[in-house]
């Protein structure tokens, strides 16, 4: 436990540099579908320092993006696709990073995990990730939360590392859970699979009080993190608003 806590503590030394790389600005959507995929700017080969060997990270990029009208993973922020930015952020905490989504779209960016239960929403992606994982702690990060910071991930990972009884460490801001910026232990898959088989796809329905560590909005604020970090980009309107931040 001390070794794992020390590893998490060491991660913080890289947070400032990663923040400088990932500060958000104007967002744009390129028009050419082919130009959005697998460009020479992909971050698959990029290495990040001070990572934790006992942790895996998974970027969920399998959504249909119906409200955006184009694949959100390839929306460009400050010259980089959202999927590239999410991967770089995830690689700031571990070298074991995979994308959960369609291999035909994302294989050039890194290892890809495809859903075992396709069409079942984010819970299906989390389940597939945890089935593939070989580590106890697993960071789940949505591709469409461009304001999440490296420092926030370090904080969540520290809290998860210090709470071995919790199957999930998840922020909750107001009445909203943030299950796609959370840390799951691998055993959570044993809760997810029966739910998926029964056609129940709501993630927070599986957050048992005794096995869930809730990080409240007040705790986040006390640690220096604004709930606005969880703002996502789902629609062209969200995109326009985000470009003004």
What is the rounded distance in angstroms from the CA atom of residue 46 to the CA atom of residue 127? 27
pLDDT computed for residue 137 by the predictor = 98
User: What digits encode the pLDDT tens for the residues 96-119?
Assistant: 999 999 999 999 999 999 999 999
pLDDT computed for residue 96 by the predictor = 97
Give yes or no for a contact between 109 and 80, defined as CB atoms under 8 angstroms apart: no
Q: How does DSSP classify residue 164? A: T
Give yes or no for a contact between 90 and 54, defined as CB atoms under 8 angstroms apart: no
What is the rounded distance in angstroms from the CA atom of residue 22 to the CA atom of residue 146? 8
What is the rounded distance in angstroms from the CA atom of residue 11 to the CA atom of residue 137? 15
Could you name the CATH architecture of 2-28+49-243? Alpha-Beta Complex (3.90)
pLDDT computed for residue 148 by the predictor = 95
How many residues does the structure list for the chain?
245
Q: Which residues have a Cβ under 8 Å from the Cβ of 154 and sit 6 or more positions away?
A: 8, 11, 12, 15, 93
Angle between the 82-90 and 15-22 helix axes, to the nearest 10 degrees? 180
**Strand pairing class (212-216; 168-173):** parallel
Give the dihedral sign, CA 157/171/229/78.
positive
pLDDT computed for residue 32 by the predictor = 40
Residues of the chain with pLDDT under 70: 1-53
pLDDT computed for residue 5 by the predictor = 52
């Amino acid at each position: 436990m001390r070794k794992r806590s020390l590893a998490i503590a060491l991660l913080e030394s890289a947070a400032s540099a990663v923040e400088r790389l990932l500060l958000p600005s104007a967002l744009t959507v390129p028009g050419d579908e082919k130009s959005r995929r697998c460009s020479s700017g992909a971050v698959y080969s990029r290495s990040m320092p001070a990572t934790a060997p006992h942790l895996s990270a998974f970027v969920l990029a399998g959504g249909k993006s119906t409200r955006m009208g184009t694949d959100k993973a390839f929306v460009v922020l400050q010259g980089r696709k959202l999927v590239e930015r999410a991967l770089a952020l995830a690689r700031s905490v571990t070298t074991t990073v995979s994308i959960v989504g369609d291999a035909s779209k994302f294989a050039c960016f890194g290892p890809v995990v495809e859903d075992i239960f396709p069409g079942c929403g984010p819970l299906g992606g989390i389940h597939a990730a945890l089935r593939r994982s070989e580590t106890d702690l697993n960071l789940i990060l949505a591709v469409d939360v461009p304001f999440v910071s490296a420092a926030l991930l370090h904080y969540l990972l520290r809290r998860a590392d210090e709470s071995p009884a919790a199957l999930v460490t998840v922020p909750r801001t107001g009445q909203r859970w943030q299950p796609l910026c959370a840390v799951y232990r691998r055993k959570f898959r044993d809760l997810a699979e029966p739910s998926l088989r029964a056609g129940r796809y709501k993630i927070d329905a599986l957050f048992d009080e005794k096995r869930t560590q809730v990080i409240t909005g007040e705790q986040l604020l006390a640690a220096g993190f604004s709930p606005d970090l969880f703002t996502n980009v789902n629609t062209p309107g969200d995109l326009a608003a985000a470009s003004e931040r």
